[in-house]
Amino acid sequence: MMRKLTIILIFLISCVLKTSSQMDPLYTQFMTNPFLINPALAGTYPYYQIISNSRLQWAGITDAPITNVISMFGPTVTQPMGLGGYIMHDVYGMTSKTTFNVSYAYNYSIAEDLKISMGLALGLFQFKIDGGGSTEYPDPVYAGGTYTQFGPDATLGFYLYSSIYHVGLSMTNLLGNKINIGSDTTITGLSRFKQHVYLHGGYKYLITRELSVEPTVIFRKVGATPLQMDFNVRVWYGKRQWENNKLWGGLSFRSQDAVTLMIGFTYQRKIEIGYSYDIGINKLRIAHNGSHELMLGFKFNDIKEY
């Protein structure tokens, strides 16, 4: 029986750690907060901002992934630098990962309307397995106890940007931390947090003073897994009499996974809310009711000129 449980545990943890969409949390609205995957975004705006992202993936599946994260980042007043950080909690079944990161970025002007930023995030993570309610087996992995592991975390990023377009490249899980499971030495070092490489970019087309279109794209690559792509298009609309209020909506396509409907609203250029609903297009779609994601953001007053 013990050996059967060991095999089941290996299968479950492998599913969590070796699936690209679960090693790093997945964000449909990445374009609203690319700082979560690229620390070079810190300091690229003239103000500090706080953004919260909450995601329920695969609604209707028991113990489906749930991700909650809150981030804050912005520029220094006198230097071409940025600071930031975030706290993230990602849970999937009996496993969870909590991460705390702080970031530093240096911004360099290449031309009048073109800058490059380089950023590094350092932090700590807690990886946790909840053994459930059983007390039949003494090992904390199999019994009702809990296995917890702490370790360092790091992300490196680069970001090229202007007033109308941007391109970024980043790598997360730089240290490739090994996950050691329980006291059974036959499965110690079961897996690692693999490095994730992200290439992302976007462009803003100003059609009229009231209407603009913003396509964005992101490519994700994890080890030998297939390349995954998200392609999004958001349309912004704001009448002159609305002053600084804008409404946006959009569509997204994620290869091998989902199509998405998105809608959002910006109030006085200070408060932004966004909602997205993913509709599955792969074989897993028959088992769930889609994925929901909510974004809330607040922008402080400008503290420097750009």
Mean predicted confidence (pLDDT) in 137-158: 75
CA proximity to 232, closest of 216, 210, 243, 208: 216
Statement: residue 30 has pLDDT above 80: yes
Most confident of 46-50, 55-59, 146-150: 46-50
Calpha distance 139→153 (Å, rounded): 28
45: tokens are 């705006």
Of residues 19 and 37, more confidently modeled: 37
- Using a pLDDT cut of 90, give the percent of the chain over it: 62
Pairwise CA distance, residues 154 & 101, whole Å? 8
Q: Is the pLDDT of residue 127 over 60?
A: yes
> If you search the block for the tokens 């007053």, which residue do you land on?
301
Q: What are the residue ranges spanned by the domains of the chain?
A: 2-299
3-state secondary structure the chain: CHHHHHHHHHHHHHHHHCCHHHHCCCCCCHHHCHHHCCHHHCCCCCCCEEEEEEEECCCCCCCCCEEEEEEEEEECCCCCEEEEEEEEEEEECCEEEEEEEEEEEEEEEEECCEEEEEEEEEEEEEEEEECCCCCCCCCCCCCCCEEEEEEEEEEEEEEEECCCEEEEEEEECCCCCEECCCCCCCCCCCEECCCEEEEEEEECEECCCCEEEEEEEEEEEECCCCCEEEEEEEEEECCHHHCCCEEEEEEEEECCCEEEEEEEEEECCCEEEEEEEEEECCHHHHHCCCEEEEEEEEECCCCCCC
CA distance 72 to 266: 18
**Banded model confidence at residue 134, pLDDT cuts 50, 70, 90:** very low
Does 184 score more than 60 pLDDT?
Answer: no
Type of residue found at 128:
K
Buried b (16+ CB within 10 A) or exposed e, 157-196: bbbbbeeeebbbbbbbbbeebebbbbebeebeebbbbbbb
pLDDT at 145: 65
Q: Which two tokens stand for residue 257?
A: 């996974």
> For the segment 152-162, what is each residue's pLDDT rounded down to a tens digit?
999 999 999 99
Fold of domain 2-299: Porin (2.40.160)
Q: What is the mean pLDDT of residues 168-195?
A: 74
Q: How many residues does the chain have?
A: 306
Q: CB within 8 A of 152, min separation 6: which ones?
A: 122, 123, 124, 125, 175, 177
Predicted TM-score (pTM) of the model is: 0.85
* Integer Cα distance of 51 and 36 in angstroms: 10
Q: Mean pLDDT throughout 264-268?
A: 94
Percent of the chain with pLDDT over 70: 84
| Residues 270-304: tens digit of each pLDDT | 999 999 999 988 877 777 888 999 999 999 999 98
Span 117-138, mean pLDDT? 77
Residue 46: exposure state from Cβ atoms within 10 A (0-12, 13-18, ≥19): middle
